[in-house]
């Protein structure tokens, strides 16, 4: 069993228990990974700073979590902050250039694909079934990277 700290696109944080990290990826890809608070399937592994003061299982959690200290390699926080800024830019770009169609995403994407609607950049949410349908129609939908952490939450 491995435990991951997860976060949804509404910034709800929760823990997920999986047989392996592969199982987490599989559930993520199929949209089965759902936020227990808001039912969002935009769930990602939380990028966490190393946790201090957690109980016995803390070390295994840290190993499996995307660890900013490991990302930085030399233990500097610079790379982590750079990553946060990059993700911020990605989201700024998406916010500015993609229309949020919410849960109508699958339908809209399909209409565009079939030429029933003018093609434009859209973002939104889709469940596993809808993603499967889109894939069968040859429509590619990409998951968004997690939003950068709120500076205030970083202490």
Interface with Zn ion by CB under 5 A: which residues?
Answer: 8, 10, 12, 35, 37-38, 40
Sign of CA dihedral 56, 57, 63, 65: negative
38 vs 119 by CB, closer to Zn ion: 38
Question: Shortest gap between Cβ of 39 and Zn ion (angstroms)?
Answer: 7
Q: Which helix (H) or strand (E) holds 134?
A: helix 128-137
Question: Shortest gap between Cβ of 128 and Zn ion (angstroms)?
Answer: 17
62 vs 125 by CB, closer to Zn ion: 125
30 vs 40 by CB, closer to Zn ion: 40
**CA gyration radius, the chain:** 17
8 vs 47 by CB, closer to Zn ion: 8
Question: Shortest gap between Cβ of 40 and Zn ion (angstroms)?
Answer: 5
- The C-alpha torsion from 74 through 78 and 80 to 83, rounded to 10°, is -130
24 vs 80 by CB, closer to Zn ion: 24
Which among 147, 130, 105 has a CA at the least distance from the CA of 12? 147
Q: Edge-to-edge strands of the sheet including 43-45?
A: 13-18, 2-8, 43-45
Question: Shortest gap between Cβ of 60 and Zn ion (angstroms)?
Answer: 25
Question: Shortest gap between Cβ of 42 and Zn ion (angstroms)?
Answer: 8
Q: 3-class SS at 3?
A: strand
């Amino acid at each position: 069993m491995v435990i991951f700290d997860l976060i949804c696109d509404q910034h709800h944080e929760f823990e997920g228990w999986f047989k392996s990290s592969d199982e987490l990826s599989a559930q993520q890809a199929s949209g089965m990974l759902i936020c227990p608070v808001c039912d969002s399937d935009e769930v990602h592994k939380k990028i966490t700073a190393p946790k201090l003061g957690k109980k016995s299982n803390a070390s295994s959690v840290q190993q499996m979590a995307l660890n900013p200290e490991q990302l930085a390699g030399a233990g500097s926080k610079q790379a982590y902050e750079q990553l946060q800024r990059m993700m911020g830019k990605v989201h700024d770009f998406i916010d500015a250039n993609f229309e949020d169609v919410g849960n109508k995403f699958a339908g809209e994407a399909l209409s565009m694909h079939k030429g029933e609607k003018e093609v434009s950049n859209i973002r939104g949410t889709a469940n596993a079934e809808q993603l499967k349908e889109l894939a069968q129609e040859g429509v590619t939908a990409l998951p968004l990277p997690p939003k950068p952490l709120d500076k205030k939450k970083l202490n």
